[in-house]
Amino acid sequence: MSIIEVRGLTKSYRVYNKREGLRDSVRGLFRREYKDVHAVRGIDLDVQQGEFVAFLGPNGAGKTTTLKLLSGVINPTEGSATVMGYVPWQRKNEYRRRFALVMGQKNQLWWDLPAQESYRLHQQIYGIDRETFQVTLDELTDLLDVTRLLNQPVRELSLGERMKMELIAAMLHSPDVLFLDEPTIGLDVIAQHNIQKFLKYYQEKRKITILLTSHYMKDIAALCKRVVIIANGRIEYDGSLVGIVDKFSGTKIITLQFADGHRPSLAAFGEVLDESWPKVKVRVSRADVPRVLAETLRDNPIEDVSVEDPPLEEVIAELFRESSERGSV
C-alpha cells in the first residue's frame, strides 16, 4: 500500500488582473477583471514507504503547491490525496505529528533567539518527553555538527547553519514523512554537500519517506533514485534519473581525437560543440551514431573516440523549455 496516494489533484487560483495606466486602474476600482491560474492540473501520484522522491520542474510548475497540498497548508480545488491514510487538508492533529515541511525560503525558528529555545517550544507543541527529546536533539546536532551553535541567536548564523537548524526542528518529533522544498537554495557547495550527506544517512537509517524539490541536480543525483518531473501543473515524467535521458534526448555526444596534423572538414559530422584540435566534440542524433562512427573511422585516422549521453541538466532544461512553450500556446 502506498504511503502517499494522489488522484486528480487540482489547485486553481482566481487572481485580480490589474491593468496598467491610470484610466484602467480607476476602472478596476469599480469593475474588476479576474483570471484563473492553474497551479496543479489533475496529477496522479503514488509513493511507497521509505522512498526518496525528487520533484523537478521550472519555477511556477506546481512543485511547491503540491507539497503545500500534501501538507495541508492549502485546500485543493478538485481531486483527492491521502498521506499515511490521512486527508492532509483536514488538518488532524494525529497527521500533523507524523509529517514535517521544510521550505528553504521560510523560517520556522525565532530569529532573535537561540535555536535551543525554539526547540524547547517544539518539544511542548509535539508533546515529546524530556528524555526522547534530548536523545533526538543530541543525535541530530551531532550528525549536523552544530552542537556548539545551539545557544547562538539564529540571526547570527550563516545561511548553511540556519538550514541545518531548520532541518533539526523538522525532525525533532521523528516524522514518518518529510516534505523538503528547496532545502539547499542559496547554499555554497560545502553546505550543500553536508546537508546531502545528512539527508542520505538519516533517510536510510530511519526509512522515512521524503519528497524533495530542488533546482540543484547534484541534490537529486546524490539522493534520489526516482524522479517526478512536473511542468505547467502536470506530471511529465515519473521514473529513474537515467531514464530521463533515454526518454527525452534524441542525441548523443561523440568526442573524436584525430591523429596529429589531420584536420578534416567537420560539416558531415553533425553539430560541432567544441573544437580543441586534435579533439572535436559533436552532437549527433541517436539514429545516426552508427553511420557517423563507421564513416569517420573509415575515412579518417582516429586515435580515440567516445560516445556519451548529453548532460542531464541540458536534457531537463530542454524539457522545461518545451513544456513552457506548450503551456503558453
3-state secondary structure of 219: helix
- Dist CA 322 CA 261 (whole Å): 42
Judge contact between 199 and 25, C-beta under 8 A.
no
* Three cell numbers written together for 177: 514523512
3-state secondary structure of 298: helix
User: Tell me, what's the pLDDT at 267?
Assistant: 67
User: Tell me, what's the pLDDT at 329?
Assistant: 40
254 burial via Cβ count (<10 Å: 0-12, 13-18, 19+):
buried
User: Tell me, what's the pLDDT at 319?
Assistant: 79
Cis peptide before 58 (omega within 30 of 0): no
pLDDT confidence tier of residue 16, bands split at 50, 70 and 90: low
Indicate if the pLDDT at residue 88 is higher than 90.
Answer: yes
Indicate if the pLDDT at residue 34 is higher than 80.
Answer: no
DSSP state of 144: T
Q: What is the pTM of this model?
A: 0.83
Render pLDDT for 200-245 as a digit per residue (tens, 0 to 9): 999 999 999 999 998 888 888 889 989 999 888 889 899 998 888 8
Render pLDDT for 288-298 as a digit per residue (tens, 0 to 9): 889 888 888 88
Domains and CATH numbers, the chain: 250-308 (3.30.70)
3-state secondary structure of 238: strand
